[in-house]
Structure 1
């Protein structure tokens, strides 16, 4: 009971600490806006967030597209990552070598370069035309899958080998071993890093604007060009991303405490 109370207290302190950090950051940002806003006003620029109201439908559709795109890419990335992670556990170099090459290529090149390559270069090499949405989906799914695969592989190999040996001794097949013993335990360890990588996937969607995919940032760029109000538009865009990501980061922090080592 004492350990449960201490974990709950640590959780509450963590959330309060994050909230305090957010409050301090918000105050600092507001001070900067007031400072530079005063300078902008003196130069003939007046802040007017009300001008964005008539574009609310466009902004909402951009935010919805961003969230939907993230969900699809995360789901596909997890499937790719699970298959690649399990494949890399094989002792057959014919399987592990190409999988390792895939992981290293996607982990060691910038995602923006990958997006441009998939949209412009891949159709030339394969003869298959890809839309901007198709190229972006394929790229981010494979990019996320490379990171997910390492998280999954690391979670699996972290399980005590003695459990594997015991399961084999009682006649379990490899599939039964993974399904009943290894994966349930590994999933608890993998959940926080998987969630953190999924947060990165959502932030990576801001790069889709280079392919004219109608996400939140792209719609913001359209509005900024139409209204000549880039400060208000990009400030709102940043706030929208924060409003989506902050609750998720707090939840992930709680998961990290919940899956951490417990004292006996």
Structure 2
């Protein structure tokens, strides 16, 4: 049996898929920005000499590394409103789920970059009278950033693909919009082929921009 491909019905609904792609980018960017802030805080906590500071950060990271992402989506959308007596729309729940999860993974990326800096540089900077915070800000982080870029980009790609889980909350990201288009066209092969190509274009473009940024950071080091 030979399948007859027909993309015309899907292309008629390209505006719906474009909106879904825009919403996917919206979730991804917001989650990456919030996740970076949380990840840096958790990384610094894990590097603290105080066990009381390290323990909560370690527990948070281990929880998110060892639980399925979809559980986080459902928890923020269905459970948190019950516990906190508030109402979250699908977009807010999806961003919170992804930002907290990505924060846990970014924390390990940042921590790995920081500990990769030779101890001699810490000691030299402290010998000049710098405080720990000053050493981190002026000496360690500027060098560590370049080493963090590859794993950071890889994790951000995974986060972007995980945005598809927002469809389970009926938020109109790319996969959810694709399901709506499929229900109108009854062309699943064509619909999901186009969706795969849109994800491919998005991530390849983001990867090219990331490599360009990495080259610039390397040039400045």
TM-score, normalised to structure 1's length?
A: 0.78
Q: Counterparts of 1:62 and 1:255 in 2: how far apart (Å)?
A: 27
The structure whose RCO (Cα within 8 Å, separation 6+) is larger is 2
**Residue-pair matches, total:** 218
- Establish whether residue 213 from structure 1 lines up as the match of residue 171 from structure 2: yes
Aligned to 1:128: 86
Q: Could you say what secondary structure the match of 1:214 adopts?
A: coil
Shift of 1:253: 6.1
Residue 100 of structure 1: which of 51, 58, 67 is its match? 58
Residue 112 of structure 1: which of 63, 70, 77 is its match? 70
Q: Could you say what secondary structure the match of 1:200 adopts?
A: helix
Residue 161 of structure 2: which of 187, 203, 214 is its match? 203
Q: 2:146 touches 2:214 (CA, 8 Å); kept in 1?
A: no
Residue 191 of structure 1: which of 140, 149, 162 is its match? 149
Structure with greater Cα Rg = 1
Residue 171 of structure 1: which of 108, 129, 148 is its match? 129
Aligned to 1:62: 20
For residues 87-144 of structure 1, the C-alpha deviation after alignment (integer angstroms, 9 at most, x for no partner) is 1111212211111110000111111121112211222222222111111111100000
Q: 1:192 touches 1:255 (CA, 8 Å); kept in 2?
A: no
Q: Counterparts of 2:212 and 2:21 in 1: how far apart (Å)?
A: 26
Q: Please, what is the CA RMSD of the aligned residues?
A: 1.9
Q: Could you say what secondary structure the match of 1:109 adopts?
A: coil
Q: Could you say what secondary structure the match of 1:129 adopts?
A: coil
In structure 1, runs of 5+ residues without a counterpart are: 1-38
In structure 2, runs of 5+ residues without a counterpart are: none
Q: Counterparts of 1:208 and 1:239 in 2: how far apart (Å)?
A: 19
